[in-house]
Amino acid sequence: MSSGLSEMKHSRQVAAAICMRGMRRIKARPVLIVPTIVMPVVLVISFTGAFSSLTRIEGYGTSNIYNWMAPYGALQGAVFAGIGAVGSSADDLEQGFFDRLLLTPGSRFPLLMGTVGYSAFRALIPTTAVFFFSLALGMTVPGGIIGVLSLYIATSFLAVVFCLIGLVILYKMKTQRSLMLMQVIAFGALFISVGQVPQSFMDGWLKIAARYNPITNVLELSRQGFLGDVAWSTTWPGLVALASMSFVAGGLAWRGLKKLAP
């Protein structure tokens, strides 16, 4: 019993150490996080300008374009925060540091959890930047603190999802070039959703794809507090989507990590 508790404590310490190592890397090299902040802010600026007239059309969902686009920009930043965490692992893998971690005694699971935890904490930075930037430009939060909490839950867990997907690819390819494929997947998943406009404004294959894209449910989870009150009917589909994607991607990432040879 005591040995099991000791092993669990050791695993938590290893995972926390890997997570904190990533955060210290950001502090030492701020350039690593700058694109993750700048990109979603630029997206908010460009999309609010391009789509602002749509708020005059009945059925858009809000009269304030920032209330619609800010959560979308925050999710974009969170996705690339997850990819950035994979980039750190890819750097360790190519430089040989990850091989030393694989040779240490004990389970490899904390190595996975540490990277996942790092991605979740990393996502808080662009989310906060987008939130306060949009708030300064006129965004409102009708859903109050619960609406803000829904946004942070959505962004943190979506970063975890894309971190896990990226690790699946990284453990297979074992190179930084895997990040290029992840960027294509990320942009495809986010753009084929209700990021810019509601489903009722779409037509053809895009409407069908957005309907079945789990990112659509995550967007509704993150956006609900900015369009009105937070409701369980718009909360549970997003939570289920995040849990399902995390479970599948996590299982595949764990399988890849176990097969990875030092």
Task: Quote the tokens at residue 153.
Answer: 């839950």
Residue for token digits 């890997």?
18
pTM: 0.94
Burial 151-169 (b: 16+ CB within 10 A, else e): bbbbbbbbbbbbbbbbbbb
**CB 87, CB 176: distance < 8 Å:** yes
**CB 22, CB 98: distance < 8 Å:** no
Of the candidate ranges 1-15, 51-65, 229-243, the one whose mean pLDDT is the lowest: 1-15
- Residue 2 scores a pLDDT above 60: no
Predicted confidence (pLDDT) per residue in 70-119, tens digit: 999 999 999 999 999 999 999 999 888 888 888 877 788 999 999 999 99
pLDDT of residue 3: 56
Provide mean pLDDT across the span 31-47.
Answer: 88
Q: Which one of 18-22, 158-162, 170-174 scores highest in mean pLDDT?
A: 158-162
pLDDT band at 11 (very low <50, low <70, confident <90, very high): confident
Provide mean pLDDT across the span 26-35.
Answer: 80
Predicted confidence (pLDDT) per residue in 178-192, tens digit: 889 998 999 999 999
Q: What is the DSSP string of 4-63?
A: HHHHHHHHHHHHHHHHHHHHHHHHH-GGGTHHHHHHHHHHHHHHHHHHGGGGGSTTSS-S
Predicted confidence (pLDDT) per residue in 113-164, tens digit: 999 999 999 999 999 999 999 999 999 999 999 999 999 999 999 999 999 9
End-to-end CA distance of the chain: 31
Predicted confidence (pLDDT) per residue in 203-234, tens digit: 999 999 999 999 999 999 999 999 999 999 99
> Of 57, 249, 223, 48, nearest to 153 (Cα)?
223
